[in-house]
Amino acid sequence: MGLVFAKLRKFGSDESGIALILIAILLPAIIGFSLLVIDMSRASNLHFDLQRGTDSLALAAAAELDGTTGSWARAERAMATLVDNDARFATSGTVTLKGGQPGGDKTCNTAGNLSWCFLASIPSSDSSAVTSSNYALNEQSTGYVEVKVAPQGFAAIFPVSFLTGNSANSGFNVAASAVAGFRSGVCDYTPIFICNPYERPAEVGGVTLEQAANTRQYRRRQILIRKGSSYVPGNFAFLASPFGNGANALEAMLAKVKPPGCYSRNGVNTEPGQNTGPVEDGLNARFGISKSYIGTADGPAANVRMGLKSVNCNNGKVTFETDPNKGVGLEKDSCHIAGNCTMMDRRMGAGDWNLTRYWAVNHPTRPLPAALSGTGDNLPTRYEVYRYELNPDGDPATNDSIVGDTAVSGETGIPACNQTPVESVDRRILYGAIIDCDQIPGFNGRKENVPVRAFASFFITEPIKDSKDIYAELVDITGRGGRGTLDNFLRDEAQLYR
């Protein structure tokens, strides 16, 4: 121990100056390293600010990409008005990341210090760059957006010409980019899809799907949704089901009070059509006239007035009243009755159903209420009449249903065979995916990742009587093009992919 103290005393009294020489030699390296650390910190902060801002801009834009008309313009507006980000330590000082609103009519555009491209897909590997093959052709096919910020100059304190290769300039550029996408899906939906009835506006009076969903006179049009081998507007077929894809599984899914499947707007898997029997049995369970489901948990709707004359509760055999002045359900549009419809390949009516006769036959002791007295364009839809019968005053806390009113024929809207109606969901509503089938070349049978235009709800106006045809009214669609009645089913999220 004494030797150690002796060495320390000797070092303290040493006047040779070797320590000063070492420090003098190392001092430039220490200063240079300190400057390099400072530069790295400044450059890292600049890149972090740029990346954070680009990420938020991409997310704001992606949240608007719901596939509807105007979504590109809304995405540009979101970047221009909803997000405000600054980046520090650039050569020009504090940089504000700012875009603009050039019109939303180009796949790729530039405004301010931002550039962006709308994408239909992204490469499977993050190491692969986005190319023009990933660009979206239109708003309906857009699922992603790539946002880039213009490179910002960075002036280093430490001379880094050995990095830049430019002895006259020790600065370099810092940039950032981000790719975000929008995913929208629904759960508890029936595993069917319907080729968009309004995909060919010229054949339906110039009306689009979004216009139909928001306008009573178009929602009132009765649509014959026919299952066929060709995927043309108005035809329906099946989606891949969690229950399987056999006839029995599809029947169960159609009859189920709450189907377990979830489906994404970004892509669904379709299945080849099945026999018509399961369709009839599954959907007619909602009216309480399918023998396989009488007395089960998958019971009928609370209002099933359909012009029924008789039903055998043991085998489900039914007969319907043939005289509409005695008993009648929610009648067909006049052209469906006459067989002379002109729209959608003769399968879409004009919405001119006979409400006056329906009310007089089914509620003979009640005058038509003021709430249902609209005429012309304001004639109520069948769905509105159906809902009114369930709850005339619109207050769920009261019990003023007129479903039990007796028609001239003796029929009521109460389910037959003493079945307990299902009231947790509306059993007369059929949910399904709307697909622009014309836009998919060679679309038929089984196909994966088929983009969905929107998810929709249809009101089933009557039970299936000929094993293949469903008569329905459009009620609503998801997204900004709809009226919001399906929001509880939606699962929307914008997320970063790169």
pLDDT digits (tens, 9 = 90+) for 36-80: 667 677 777 777 877 888 888 889 888 888 877 888 999 888 888
Q: What average pLDDT does range 28-32 have in this prediction?
A: 68
Decide if 108 contacts 135 (C-beta within 8 A).
yes
Please tell me which residue, 66 or 324, carries the higher pLDDT value.
324
For residue 209, CA distances in Å to 1, 186, 214 come to 94, 19, 9
Mean pLDDT of the chain: 84
Specify if 278 maps to a domain. Answer: yes
Specify if 130 maps to a domain. Answer: yes
The verdict on 245 and 164 lying in the same domain is no
The verdict on 385 and 486 lying in the same domain is yes
* Residue 166 pLDDT exceeds 60: no
**Lowest-confidence segment of 276-280, 377-381, 427-431 by average pLDDT:** 276-280
Residues in the chain: 498
Specify if 497 maps to a domain. Answer: no
The verdict on 338 and 463 lying in the same domain is yes
Specify if 7 maps to a domain. Answer: no
Retrieve residue 124's tokens. Answer: 């499977």
Decide if 284 contacts 463 (C-beta within 8 A).
yes
The verdict on 294 and 411 lying in the same domain is yes
* Residue 472 pLDDT exceeds 70: yes
The verdict on 134 and 251 lying in the same domain is no
Retrieve residue 58's tokens. Answer: 């991409």
- What is the 8-class DSSP label of residue 411? -
Identify residue 58 by its one-letter amino acid code. A
**Lowest-confidence segment of 87-91, 135-139, 444-448 by average pLDDT:** 87-91
The verdict on 154 and 208 lying in the same domain is no
The verdict on 121 and 201 lying in the same domain is no
Specify if 299 maps to a domain. Answer: yes
The verdict on 409 and 476 lying in the same domain is yes
The verdict on 71 and 135 lying in the same domain is yes
**Lowest-confidence segment of 2-6, 157-161, 195-199, 414-418 by average pLDDT:** 157-161
Choosing from 164, 184, 204, the residue where a domain stops is: 184
What distance in Å separates the CA atoms of residue 284 and residue 468, rounded to the nearest whole number? Answer: 12
Q: What is the pLDDT of residue 462?
A: 93
**pLDDT band of 276, cuts 50, 70, 90:** low
Domain that holds residue 101: 31-184
For residue 63, CA distances in Å to 66, 110, 137, 144, 178 come to 7, 19, 19, 10, 14
Q: How far is residue 349 CA from its own chain's centroid?
A: 27
Specify if 132 maps to a domain. Answer: yes
The verdict on 118 and 243 lying in the same domain is no
* Helix 276-284 / helix 247-255 crossing angle, nearest 10 deg: 20
The verdict on 205 and 279 lying in the same domain is yes
Q: Mind listing the pLDDT tens digit for each residue in 325-360?
A: 998 999 999 999 999 999 998 999 999 999 999 999
Q: What is the pLDDT of residue 208?
A: 93
What distance in Å separates the CA atoms of residue 107 and residue 218, rounded to the nearest whole number? Answer: 32
* Helix 18-62 / helix 71-81 crossing angle, nearest 10 deg: 140
Decide if 177 contacts 498 (C-beta within 8 A).
yes
What distance in Å separates the CA atoms of residue 253 and residue 262, rounded to the nearest whole number? Answer: 12
Q: What is the pLDDT of residue 7?
A: 67
The verdict on 439 and 357 lying in the same domain is yes
* Predicted model pTM: 0.76
**pLDDT band of 18, cuts 50, 70, 90:** low
- Give the count of domains, the chain: 2
Phi, psi of 262, rounded to the nearest 5 degrees: -120, 145
In terms of average pLDDT, the best of 14-18, 242-246, 258-262, 300-304 is 300-304
**∠ CA 23-26-27, rounded to 5°:** 80
Choosing from 184, 208, 226, the residue where a domain stops is: 184
Please tell me which residue, 137 or 95, carries the higher pLDDT value.
137
Choosing from 126, 157, 184, the residue where a domain stops is: 184
Q: Which residues pair with 456 in a beta bridge?
A: 432, 477
Decide if 286 contacts 293 (C-beta within 8 A).
no
Q: What is the pLDDT of residue 355?
A: 95
